Structure 1
Amino acid sequence: MTEPTNARLIAVTLDEASIDRGTPDVEHERAVAVYDLLEENVFRPSGLGEGPYRLVLSIQENRLVFTVQDEAGGHLVSHMLSLTPLRKVVKDYFLICESYFSAIRTAAPAQIEAIDMGRRGVHDEGSRLLAERLEGKIEVDHDTARRLFTLICALHFKG
């Protein structure tokens, strides 16, 4: 399926009021996710033109806020999603990431690989859940949902 080149994000900002600085591992994950997301993504808000778009992610009153802006930074639409459905998978992802980052320093390669497979599985679960929550609001492909899920985890991380 060929996607229109303008149905995409050109900038992603994480609201500094919603997040704290993370560990080097978390900061690295965040930076890689933003870079990868901007390199290749499918992002099509319902009822809007083809874009391109800017996105501001924040957490307000236990809700995930997707603020979509036009190319010049003008507000187009905001979508608020309850964090409750994502809470368990984000917690599971944090736990397995902690195990993974610990293991890469001391564990045998087979153990690291097993933990990494579990980490990817939980990440995929979170990505699918996020895509379902965005349904009817913002269309994203699988890879875009994965990278957005990583950023949502970064928003949850409070040090």
Structure 2
Amino acid sequence: MAGAADSGDTATERPTGRLVDISLDEETIGRATPDIEHERAIAIYDLIEENTFQPEGHTEGPYKLKLAIKDKRLILDIRQENEAEVVLHMLSLTPFRRVIKDYFLICESYFEAIKTATPSKIEAVDMGRRGLHNEGSRILQERLEGKVSVDFDTARRLFTLICALYWRG
């Protein structure tokens, strides 16, 4: 009995600074190719499974996130699990334009390379792809600074999702 009091409930609870649901605004994002839809689903699944997501000045999580794209802006509608509004952030996609364009180009090269290229060529292209993905993730962390705290792995998964949203297929 003393063990239950000593262990505290927080040892078994998941942290509140996290996302438990991510949805995409169908009106502004629309349908995409099966490959892009697959990337979106994987990114969402990975994000929900493991993430660090804490809106600045707010500690009443966990959170739901609805993403939309409007007027070349990424809209992050952040809510509590019970749907109570937390904050709405709009981020310009302009700072991501070059890295996303380069990322798409290298992804196309990667998918072509895996069909016919040597393992060393595939590895070189993949290293470039991961480098661009990391760059986009760092840009996202910088753009979210002072708005939402995310760790690098969460930023990587969000960047994957942003790419899938930006590229409408």
Tell me whether the two structures share a fold, i.e. TM-score over 0.5: yes
Which one of 40, 56, 70 corresponds to residue 46 of structure 1? 56
Structure 1 Cα separation of the partners of residues 30 and 121 of structure 2: 31
Within a 5 Å distance, the mapping from 1:52-91 to structure 2 comes to 52-91=62-101
Partner of 1:134: 144
Which one of 98, 104, 107 corresponds to residue 114 of structure 2? 104
Structure 2 Cα separation of the partners of residues 28 and 101 of structure 1: 15
The higher-RCO structure (CA 8 Å, 6+ apart) is: 1
Partner of 2:131: 121
CA contact (8 A) 1:18 1:155 kept: no
Structure 1 Cα separation of the partners of residues 48 and 25 of structure 2: 17
Structure 1 Cα separation of the partners of residues 145 and 53 of structure 2: 12
Structure 1 unaligned segments of length 5 or more: list them.
none
Deviation at 1:75, TM superposition (A): 2.0
- 1:37 equivalent in alignment to 2:54: no
Structure 2 unaligned segments of length 5 or more: list them.
1-13
TM-score, normalization: structure 1?
A: 0.93
- 1:18 equivalent in alignment to 2:28: yes
The verdict on how the C-alpha distance between 1:125 and 1:79 changes in structure 2, with shifts beyond 3 A counting, is: same
Deviation at 1:129, TM superposition (A): 0.3
Q: Which amino acid in the other structure matches residue 7 of structure 1?
A: G
Q: Which amino acid in the other structure matches residue 89 of structure 1?
A: V
CA contact (8 A) 1:45 1:139 kept: yes
Secondary structure of 1:78 counterpart = strand
Among the aligned pairs, what percent are the same residue?
63
CA contact (8 A) 1:19 1:154 kept: no
Larger Rg: 2
Show CA shifts across 1:31-56 (max 9, x none): 11111111110000011114000001
Structure 2 Cα separation of the partners of residues 27 and 106 of structure 1: 25
CA contact (8 A) 1:126 1:149 kept: yes
Show CA shifts across 1:73-103 (max 9, x none): 2221100111111111111111111111222
The verdict on how the C-alpha distance between 1:100 and 1:23 changes in structure 2, with shifts beyond 3 A counting, is: farther
CA contact (8 A) 1:7 1:51 kept: yes
CA contact (8 A) 2:60 2:80 kept: no
Deviation at 1:108, TM superposition (A): 1.8
TM-score, normalization: structure 2?
A: 0.87
Secondary structure of 2:51 counterpart = coil
Q: Considering only aligned residues, what root-mean-square deviation do their CA atoms show, in Å? A: 1.3
